[in-house]
Every structure is written in C-alpha cells, then in structure tokens.
Chains A and B, each alone.
Chain A
Amino acid sequence: MHESNEHGHPHAEISHTERPGYYEIMETAVRELLVEKQLIGAGEIRRQIEVLDSRTPALGAKIVARAWLDPDFKARLLKNGRAGCEELGISFYDDTGLIVLENTEKVHNLIVCTLCSCYPRPVLGLPPDWYKLKPYRSRAVSEPRAVLAEFGTIIPDDVEIRVSDSTSMVRYLVLPRRPEGTEGFTEEQLAALVTRDAMIGVIPANSPAAENAP
C-alpha cells in the first residue's frame, strides 16, 4: 500500500475537507452510541456494507436472462418474485417482497418510489441518483410518457403504461421484452443485454446490434 503519491500519476490528495453536514453528524453520533452501548458492533456495520456492495444489476440481469430462457422459471418468478430470486441464491436481507412486472406487446411497466427511494436493492444494488431525485419521482407518476421519451423510449399509444409506486413492503423489478435476434443466445449473452435502466423500465433491453455499436 502506498502511503504517498508514488504510483505513477499525480493527483490531488483524496480527503474530506468540507465540514460534515447535519445528517452526517447525526449518523456518526447515533452509530457511535449504538456501538458504545454494545447494541451493534463495528463488524456488523462493515458486514452490512459488504452485503450492499455484493448486490449489483448483474444479479437482476441474470434473473431476466434465466426467465427468457426457461418458461417454467419465468412462471414461478412472475407468481412469486422473491421465491424466484431465492431459487437462484439471491437473499432478501431487508425482508421486502418482490413483484416482477413483465413487459409485453401490450403493457410497459415503469417503477418509481414517490416517497423516497424504495428500490429492489437485493437484486439491483443501490439506485441511481436520478431515481432518488424529485423530478423523476414526481414526473414518473404524472407524465410517464414524457419521462420515457427523455430516456429515448417512445411507447406507442396502444401500449398501456403501468407505473408501480413502491411505498412499503413490496419492491418491483421490470422483466423487459427479449430483444429480437437473440435466438440461440446463452444466458450470459442475454444477461449482457439487460441493463439497470431496463429493469427500472425507462429503456428496453439492448438489442444485439446496439450492444456492438461503439
């Protein structure tokens, strides 16, 4: 480990120089109190960070790819999203439920949390910043077609848009439509086409052609 800046390229010192904000100070105070009173240990906090860091959109992409390839798995997943994910070895450490929403020719699903930032973290990890900010949270439920258009997603008028607002116990994951031209693809090849944003519902899954584009 380098103690000084001797690894080949110059950069500014990495440090926190701004004063901590109100909530940062509150978090530190509460955490130190909880540890001091031995209600939780520093190891448990570190462990939970490891849990969160281990959850990324790659998990959701695997679920989607499996559902595209295995109709029986897809049926189980749509019936009980959480059980379907648990079948693949993905735990729900926060004890939320999961409803998987299938996009079809007739229905396009979009997820949002207008109250805060509820998100299918067990299968996607942390949400993007825009998902947590008020413009997306308020507009996704009031003008979803305009929001989708800003992501480049134009939904025909004969396709119904369903916006699922997560509020308490249940989280949602969008199962995008399988792109054309993917016959014979392996699970790994299919998963590579499935992005975080497609599983939020703001864009479709990538087509194989787009995947090869620069």
Chain B
Amino acid sequence: MQHNAQEPHASLPGVVFAAGESPLFALDDSVRILQRKPIGHYRVPTYLRGKVGTVVQIITPIGIDNEEEGFGRDAGVKLHYYRIAIPMSELWPEYSGSPRDGLRVEVYETWLERI
C-alpha cells in the first residue's frame, strides 16, 4: 500500500471503474470544506469547516472513512483524500503575513463540495 503524489490512473477504454475508484474532484478544482457539526471526534478541524480552497493533490490509494471506522460503523467503502490549499487570508481575515502564505490539509471526499 503506497500513498503518493501521483495522479490516479485513468481507465483503459472499455474498463469500468467501481464507484469511489475515480476521484470526484480534480486538480485545481475549487472546493468548500463542509460546515457540519457532528458530535464526537472528527478529523476535520473546526477552524477549516466552511472554508474554501483548491485541490492541489489527489492522494492515493483510496482509503476507508476512518471517521465511520472510528465509531465502529461499516467502513467498507473507500474514497479519496485530497490535499487542499487554503490561503491564510481565507482562514484569518486579520492575517498579517505574506498574502501568499497558506495552509495545506488532507480532507476526505465526503467533507468536500464543489463550488
């Protein structure tokens, strides 16, 4: 099992991928991290919820939803994690460093929406 920075493989013509094998989001897509407030321990820090960023890397291989797994629920489905770039100015309106400074975070597919 390898985690890498490669783009996922494209399918050979005629080969059908199962749901989840192909990433929903592509490089450079603008996405919003969902503003959800489930009770319990979740792996999306609250300071990032509702924030807008850009997909800079599709992380492979696909992984199980470790939030579901963590609560002992079915986690058989595997989806992609994405490395999301978010400008510091998006997170902190008062940010005083360089406007190019940014945050990077890996977010599971179920926590992202396209904008």
Contacts and interface: CB of A to CB of B under 8 A. Distances in A.
Contacts of B39: none
Interface in A138-196: 141-145, 157-170
A167 B44 contact: yes
A104 interface: no
Contact of A157 (B5, B98, B102): B98
Contacts of A95: 1
B11 interface: no
Q: Is the interface of A mostly helix, strand, loop or mixed?
A: mixed
Interface residues of A, number: 32
Interface string B20-56: 0000000000000000000000011101100000000
Nearest to B81: A169
Interface in B82-112: 83, 88, 91-92, 95-98, 100-108
B21 to A, nearest CB: 17
A35 interface: no
A164 B6 CA distance: 18
Q: Is the interface of B mostly helix, strand, loop or mixed?
A: mixed
A28 interface: no
- Please indicate which of the listed interface residues A95, A97, A114, A115 has the most CB atoms of chain B within 10 Å of its own CB: A97
B48 to A, nearest CB: 8
Given A99-B83, A170-B106, A80 B2 contact: yes
A96 B106 CA distance: 13
Interface in A10-69: none
Contact of B102 (A83, A162, A167, A170): A162
Given A97-B3, A169-B106, A144 B45 contact: no
B5 A79 contact: yes
B63 interface: yes
Given A79-B5, A80-B5, A99-B5, A164 B81 contact: no
Contacts of B96: 143
A123 interface: no
A78 interface: yes
A144 B45 CA distance: 17
Given A142-B92, A163-B104, A115 B43 contact: yes
A79 B104 contact: no
A98 interface: yes
A60 B44 CA distance: 27
Nearest to A140: B103
A168 B66 contact: yes
B101 A144 contact: yes
B81 A161 contact: no
A114 B100 contact: no
B58 interface: no
- Please indicate which of the listed interface residues B44, B57, B81, B97 has the most CB atoms of chain A within 10 Å of its own CB: B97
A114 B45 contact: yes
A82 interface: yes
Contacts of B48: 165
Those 3 A-B pairs whose CB atoms lie nearest each other, nearest first: A97-B3, A80-B4, A160-B100
